[in-house]
Chain A
């Protein structure tokens, strides 16, 4: 049987040039040569400049469209009703156990969601969340999706428990999105 070997291609393989082995006079020669090579390498960084540095708080790294950031809850655009029906499938799917849902019945006077029930309490503890996106996958109504925000640091742990109102609120678009093909 022929064993398949993979080669990156002849043009990619670079022969490593080595000096004399360590030790003795050759070693000193080699150490000197390698030092010069190192000096050249660092100087090349100076010549190259700081083009790839992103000045973070002012400039931000653009995220890809499928980036999994902070969650968002959605409403129907036409009726304004919440998409979430309080089925708790997201809470069941969550491996970090950070979602808490308490469902309540919709009544004709108080209609919150499109289905029979709605989420009276919907909390995500972001200090536990691992941003795996299973909640988004589990949701049968696309009510919860992963947004693009990644700046979520806070001073207190309790401030990281996001309530339904916070998740429903239109997030401040703080994160630039990567353009197609970028």
Chain B
């Protein structure tokens, strides 16, 4: 079997197919939970309850939302370009879920006699893989905005393009330090390295962590960098003209992206499935640990969203290029010097 990149550990093909389905299912199940948590928490942050009408404590709210979205009419403006208009949300969702595959939820585990890695795949290029998909994901936004044939969408897509490009640089550079310290690109190896060094990289790479967080907000188009959607000025940005299931796919992709960024952050800086104080639980606890840490990230995302107002466009760009990028570069340089010396 020819491979595009060196793979750390891989299972028989049928296990990989099952894993792909399981992974997609997991992503599909977490998103409504995150959605509900977000709405509930935003409510609490604003001194109100959030959704509490549908089901017990509003637990069925995401289900009602999905039901509403899926039964809506597939509407398309007459100025839009049909095939691209339909394709764009698919690109978004596929790239988001594909990037989700890289997040390691644990080491290999023994499931029904087969050694299964608790991750989608462990490729040698590791951390470059989600960046590659992040670059493709931007086509989802770009095409969606352009093919809608609407000015608001187009403006949103343009902003999105500029924002994603400028922040992806800082995001990548912020992780260089971690890569140098662990001398590997593979996410599984990075986690194992954190265990071996007995030190999560959030400590030595604190500046990198901060840059990663901020750039991560921009990368996922979350507040305060949600200029791409910017409800107040652009109606809805690139997804203004989308409704029903297509809107749902964009929404889904956005939340999967949040989870991916959380997962990468957990893996790179917070020691993945490792626990502090030398606690070494059995293998089946690992995914729970990773998920708990990811929800910590998601909580922070929501907290920030409830706190900060949206940036102006020029502020966003100058912040990305003038503050984050130099900071990430200096961080990488200092780390390089320290690692070599």
Interface residues of A (CB under 8 A from B): 28, 35, 38-39, 41-43, 45-46, 48-50, 52-53, 55
Contact = CB atoms under 8 A, between A and B. Distances in A.
A50 B308 contact: no
Most buried by B among A41, A42, A55: A42
B49 A50 contact: yes
B303 interface: yes
A50 B48 contact: yes
12 contacts: A38-B307, A38-B308, A42-B306, A45-B45, A45-B47, A46-B44, A48-B47, A49-B47, A50-B49, A53-B47, A53-B48, A55-B49
Interface string B293-304: 000000000011
Given A42-B46, A46-B44, 6 more contacts: A28-B323, A38-B307, A42-B303, A46-B41, A50-B43, A50-B49
A41 B47 contact: no
Contacts of A38: 307-308
Classify the interface of chain A: helix, strand, loop or mixed. Answer: helix
A46 B306 CA distance: 11
Contacts of B48: 50, 53
Contacts of A50: 43-44, 47-49
B307 A41 contact: yes
Nearest to A28: B323
B321 to A, nearest CB: 14
Classify the interface of chain B: helix, strand, loop or mixed. Answer: helix
Interface residues of B, number: 14
Nearest to B52: A55
Contact of A52 (B41, B43, B47): B47
A35 B307 contact: yes
B324 to A, nearest CB: 11
A45 B49 contact: no
Given A28-B323, A35-B308, A43 B303 contact: yes
B323 A42 contact: no
B2 to A, nearest CB: 49
Contacts of B49: 50, 53, 55
Most buried by A among B43, B304, B306, B323: B306
B45 A46 contact: yes
A26 to B, nearest CB: 13
Nearest to B46: A45
Nearest to B224: A35
